[in-house]
Amino acid sequence: MTPSAPLRILVVEDEVLIALELEFLLGDLGYTTVGVAGSSQEAIALGRDTAPDVAFVDIHLIDGPTGVAVARALSENPHTTVVFMTANAKRIPDDFAGALGVIAKPYSERVVAGALRYIAEARAGHAPTLDGLDGFRLAPGPDRAGPPH
C-alpha cells in the first residue's frame, strides 16, 4: 500500500541494469522516480534539484566508493530519507552517514516495498514496524524517517 501522495525517490546506482530494474520496481509499487544518478556529483546535484523524499544510495559508484559522501550530503536536507542499497554494508560508517538504514543486495521486491512502507508510515506519524523485513536494517540511534507529510 502506498501513501496517497506517492513518495518521490532518487536512485543512486551506477550499474545501469540494476538502476533500471529498481526504477521499474518502484513504478510497479506506485512510487515516482525523480532521477537516476551513477556518480556522486550527479547524485548530489539531482538531490538538490529534486528534493526527493527518499534516496536509495549504493556505496560504490562510477567515481569510486563515494556513496557515503552522497548519503551525508543528501541527508542534510531534513526532507530526504536516505537508505543505502549495497552488498558492501561493511563500508557504512557507524553513524550510517545520516542514512536511516540499509537494504542488502541482492534485494527483493518485498524488502523494498516494506522499507518504503516503513518510511511512509513514519512520515505519517505512525509507529512503523520491521516485522518480516529481514533484508532491511535500521541505523542505530533515533528514527530518521523524516518529517510527516
DSSP string, the chain: ---SSPPEEEEE-S-HHHHHHHHHHHHHTT-EEEEEESSHHHHHHHHHHH--SEEEE-SSBTTBS-HHHHHHHHHTSTTPEEEEEES-GGGS-TTGGG-SEEEESSP-HHHHHHHHHHHHHHHTT-----TT-TTEEEPSSS--S----
With a cut of 70, say whether residue 127 has pLDDT above it: yes
pLDDT of residue 146: 47
Q: What are the tens digits of pLDDT across the range 20-59?
A: 999 999 999 999 999 999 999 999 999 999 999 999 999 9
The pTM assigned to this predicted structure is 0.91
The pLDDT value recorded for residue 4 is 60
Q: Which domains does the chain have, with CATH numbers?
A: 8-138 (3.40.50.2300)
Length of the chain in terms of residues written? 149
In this predicted structure, the answer to whether residue 142 has a pLDDT above a threshold of 80 is no
User: Cα–Cα distance between 119 and 114 in angstroms, integer?
Assistant: 9
